[in-house]
A and B are shown apart, each in its own frame.
Chain A
């Protein structure tokens, strides 16, 4: 895009006839004046420049029109000095080229950027298209009257997708609006006379034929006029003329204050909230609260069925609403307390002219208050939900009168209330979507994606969805579809002027790509090492360490080689582990033992090397298990080294623990009561002497000694468990399940979600369910051998399919020569259970 604007003669296509040179960025839009063929307006981002063909060297006028990019320029049909601009900053502004400092008037749409604004040739109205929102289900075409800039005169619904272009067309009876949309349709909208007059045209003589009673806002309704930048009443007056009765040939003179403010404007509610100088009569100070309310008013979707907003006044903090449905008419005055919407709900006063009965009124009032409270509780504005409820309520009162005959044209579509509502108010809160992202997944994959080329030139990325820049960005990167910002050059026949528009969007055609990078080299864990590390089958612990050192050498981790070599030395089995506390200091208390290991752990902890941590802790755990088994006192304990290895072994030394092994609580000492309370777990939770009572000093000492002999600080057991748990998880992702099992079996505590799978018998005597070999109620052995018919005390086997079985020896003997169940049930037990 260069900074030239060229004017071409179509008969002479080799060379531009004239060109204008703008110093700033190139023009995105150019538009001929409709009445003066020499005048051209161009849009440069947020600025307008005015050019004269006769004096192409410099622009003769500038308008700093908007805050953000201008999407459309449209010259007036009837006044060569007036033009209309619309922009991404959600406003439409009317300008006079003679006074470019302030717009004549402004239409604000709240949060929706405006894509097109086209002047109504016959009057002061304008047709407006919004930039389609992401979620938009609302593809309306808005018609505004300049005399009422607070709400559209009507909304034309019908398009099923975003509307991208609009143009007026002259026909015999007046004008038609042509719109084209991405739903592959072009629609022609006839403009009724009433609508036309609403839009500011001189009414024609055929008033009796109007057909849509509820589609157009009645021009006589008082309403406020929003004027940007009018800070004093003087300016306000000066800049609000040209409204209802435009003369046929308005010249520049019409822009001055020569026109008195029209009746509509003056009938506005007493205080204008733009009157920042503050009129003494009301004593009103524009506060933030008022602005908030004003904001809500301006965002309000007024196309609620049957609801007419008669007045809205942010300064008085009230609005009056008329609901008409069939024979019911309800007029409600809503007053907003000053704290609204922060916890304070508005009050609803139902006017006496209401046609519904008292109980319904109360009911309605309650229902409205409920809604209001539920919203303000969350500090949210509630007017619109209340109005919708109101409309529904009145509708629900029954008596459905014959609907007004369906008119040919604009039928107000039933608004999609929720989405619409939130689409307006809530986008402020919804974070701007991320278009670039990166996630670490699984063990070492970095999944990343990036949106599109250069997102924002200079401005900071917006934070919320409603921010002005969001939509073009989100839409211009549209893969295969053509974006809504394609140039639409519609030649304008009647006035002879040309319309030229440049495409705004560059079309990148690829669909988004996700790339996955292997970043496992950055991580301290290695799959190769995981496969090579071994925890069993190497004889002594020192051998195990040496083998692991060798494994580390193959993957080029010299630090690990050193670490394992040290570990091998520390874990040497020749180092003293005295069986009696009096026979010398155990090796583990040597500075190069436990402390060294501890510092090894510290080092790898700092490196987050969970692999090394886990394997080291496994190896030393095995070492610890070996030692505690070798020491006296532990032999008698019934602990199972595989799953209850570490902490259980301490408790087991008391030999007073009720163990679940035989099912009979064989209690060997005075701990009977405690033991039977916890039949399946270790009974002593206290350390050392915590058990109190019968524990002797020797026990204490022995226990202490045992702990002292261990190479791992018993206090760090839980951390070791946690390393192993994490590492097991990593192994799972690599699907190294055997390695994982080796690690997990060293856990001192079984995982919590471990569910026991066991077999239960039904006692032959009493028929009760028995967990274990002996029935508690009849005191007999529960399981009987099907061959010798005696109860089984020792090892047993049974068929999983039929449940018959008996002594292992008998079963082996039987199935050496048979394949059928010894009980005679006909079950082929060998095949069914798969045991031999």
Chain B
């Protein structure tokens, strides 16, 4: 269990004309969406080693930074954000992809998008370099939005939703009716801070401010909950550090941080596995490392996916 082999399953030649900035598979792991500096988003069906390009979505006028699939209960819906300050929501109907909504209220590059847990409906958070983040949601037949200004000085770089469960409620014992989880999200920005926001009476207010990084926070990732009474956030920063922030409801409910590692170069992205125990970290050193918390609470590297230099060949390593 301590270490495992990361075996390469299959590769998709994306055919993008420029470098890609994000790639994500849908809920079932059947389709892949990629976005690129060539301003397009491509969608591939990936089944059993075969890949075929389903659609090339054009509509952005700048490099597309990030994509995110919505929960399938809403249909095949994909959100993308771009340098052109737009967020586009795409939907597949009968095999054809169309733009169903274009959100253009941001005044600078939109750097990150993420759909909220499906329990909260079709709701999207967007982080932009104009210092604000916004919540775009579908309600009563139309798209609405809330824009939260001045969230971070020097821009919001990343946004991530909390799971749709309040860890606090898990230790309160057998309440007899479902508690509506408070909507929370975390943003990371150019002011070196992480900020946790919660919805209160329909308004988004800052709940907590986490300090620790010494340079821009590039990415934040809220760990998926599996019923544990803890909240956990990973943050990646320009200062080459990855930090893990943990709030344990059983012992006081304060955010504590540990530095996972100081890398040799900027860390760009962190991603949690579905069980919330493994964190994949990728950065400017072109490496992908997987980290797991040991039973003693220390973070250990369980596997390193080292990228070769020639055309990005992947050479799995066991560590």
Contact = CB atoms under 8 A, between A and B. Distances in A.
Contacts of A514: 11-12, 14, 20, 23, 32, 34
B129 A511 contact: no
A508 B311 contact: yes
B174 A431 contact: no
Contact of A447 (B25, B218, B238): B25
A436 interface: yes
Contact of A426 (B109, B177, B215, B302): B109
Contacts of B312: 449-452, 510, 512-513, 515
Contacts of B15: 511
Contact of A448 (B14, B155, B282): B282
B52 interface: no
A513 B157 CA distance: 25
Contacts of B269: 434, 436-439
Contact of B37 (A433, A447, A682): A433
B202 interface: no
A647 B176 CA distance: 6
Contacts of B14: 511-514
Contacts of B56: none
B246 interface: no
Contacts of B252: none
Interface string A734-756: 01000000000000111111000
A521 B13 CA distance: 25
Contact of B216 (A426, A431, A610, A720): A431
A142 B252 CA distance: 62
Interface stretch (A26-34, A600-608, A763-771): A600-608
A447 B272 contact: no
B100 interface: no
A733 B22 CA distance: 22
B9 A517 contact: yes
Nearest to A509: B311
A422 interface: yes
Chain A CB within 10 Å, residue with most, of B12, B216, B227: B227
A203 interface: no
Interface in B148-166: 149-150, 153-155, 157, 165
B295 A461 contact: no
B174 A134 contact: no
A714 interface: yes
B170 interface: yes
Interface stretch (B137-145, B204-212, B254-262, B273-281): B273-281
A454 to B, nearest CB: 6
A434 B219 CA distance: 10
A648 to B, nearest CB: 8
B228 to A, nearest CB: 6
B309 to A, nearest CB: 4
B9 to A, nearest CB: 5
Nearest to B309: A453
Given A429-B155, A430-B129, A718-B172, A135 B83 contact: yes
Given A517-B8, A749-B177, A722 B28 contact: no
Interface string B31-70: 0101011000000001000000000000001110100000
Contact of A429 (B5, B19, B190): B190
B101 interface: no
Contacts of B169: 718
Chain A CB within 10 Å, residue with most, of B169, B276, B286: B286
A516 interface: yes
Contacts of A448: 23, 280, 282, 288, 305, 307, 314
A480 interface: yes
A719 B228 CA distance: 7
B24 A436 contact: no
Nearest to B236: A434
B226 A723 contact: yes
A664 interface: no
B17 A478 contact: yes
B303 interface: yes
A478 B18 contact: yes
A444 B25 CA distance: 11
A673 to B, nearest CB: 19
Given A436-B282, A515-B8, A733-B28, A474 B274 contact: no
B29 A431 contact: no
B227 A610 contact: yes
B95 interface: no
A606 B293 CA distance: 9
Given A608-B277, A610-B226, A685-B177, A434 B4 contact: no
A442 interface: yes
Interface in B216-242: 216, 218, 224-229, 238, 240
B178 A430 contact: no
Chain A CB within 10 Å, residue with most, of B107, B153, B173, B240: B173
A481 B286 contact: no
21 contacts: A426-B109, A437-B22, A438-B282, A441-B25, A442-B274, A444-B273, A455-B284, A474-B18, A477-B18, A478-B18, A479-B16, A511-B16, A512-B18, A514-B34, A516-B32, A522-B4, A522-B290, A525-B275, A685-B176, A716-B174, A722-B170
Given A433-B65, A522-B4, 12 more contacts: A135-B61, A135-B62, A422-B85, A439-B22, A453-B310, A456-B265, A460-B240, A513-B312, A515-B9, A516-B8, A522-B303, A716-B173
| Ranked 8 nearest A-B pairs via Cβ | A442-B29, A722-B227, A608-B277, A441-B25, A461-B284, A715-B173, A434-B268, A610-B226
